[in-house]
Amino acid sequence: MNILEKMPKKVIVITGGAGFIGSHLCDKLIENEYKVICLDNFITGRLENITHLLKDKNFKLLERNVTEYIKIKGRVDYILHFASPASPVDYLNHPIPTLKVGSLGTHNTLGLAKAKKARYILASTSEIYGDPLVHPQREDYYGNVNCIGPRGVYDEAKRFAEALTMAYHRVHKIDTRIARIFNTFGPRMRINDGRVVPNFTHQALSNQPLTVYGQGIQTRSFCYISDLVEGIYRLMHSKGNEPINLGNPGEFTVLALAKLVLKITRSRSKIIFKPLPADDPKQRRPDITKAKSILNWRPQIELREGLVKTIEWFRAGSEP
């Protein structure tokens, strides 16, 4: 027997593992010979995202709410905390669970990391920058957040999660990583999750008007899911504990995105305009200098290529 075969596989606990990003991470980790324990309470996660993994001997699903005490038997080498509603529709529908998973959920998973002496990776977000006054956004920018606005439940939950993670790093010497994730898209997004790519795709494929808020001149940066997962995987194995932006620095107006979706789908849909939601960011673009330097990472998939893949998946019936 090869000596490497005698070595026990490293064990990873991932919260929110049945979600959009979490399920793709589970795939990546299984492919790279890790044992994966997936925790999800299915508020926004979907069993269909991980059905193909259920018979894999290295994958285990536990239906858990991480805002309650977490007990895992045996060794744990890494903890990836990715549980949280992440779209405006979801966190506006579930404001208190969103705050609880960012606070209590982060506290519980950090406690597990402390008990197991595991490396800890927090999924944070570009939303911690709020409606930014600095462009592009660097990790040393503190943000411009309305803490009592409707979006504040998500923004502040993640800002608190970052603060608690760094406190555990400083006080308890937990080996932590923080990924500030910018707009990500791809297969397994829910068609009704309220984010702009599935919204436009659903409207275009069903020949409904594409809803653009304001004049559509607000900008976003869109990272394809495989690029993001590679960035997170590299972050897991990197050195350093400070937050790192992960996103595609390509910047597009929302109106340009709508027109591109119409072109790819060859839809007959028109574009209609509605008032901007409260605290909607006017600009969003990551500075990924740190990611390029520390992780040797940069996105490979351009927006059009990623949209073609995503639209094909939705057109096929939204099957994982």
Q: Any idea which residues carry the catalytic annotation?
A: 154
CB 114 within 8 A of CB 168: yes
The gap from C-alpha 243 to its chain's centroid, in whole angstroms, comes to: 14
**Which residues lie below 8 Å from residue 218, measured CB to CB, with a gap of 6+?**
253, 254, 276, 280, 281, 282, 283, 284
H-only helix segments in 12-140? 20-31, 88-93, 95-116
CB 204 within 8 A of CB 265: yes
By CB atoms closer than 10 A (0-12, 13-18, 19+), residue 221 is buried
What kind and span of H or E run contains 164?
Answer: helix 152-172
Sign for the pseudo-dihedral over CA of 147, 113, 36, 10: positive
Pairing verdict, β 219-220 and 252-253? antiparallel
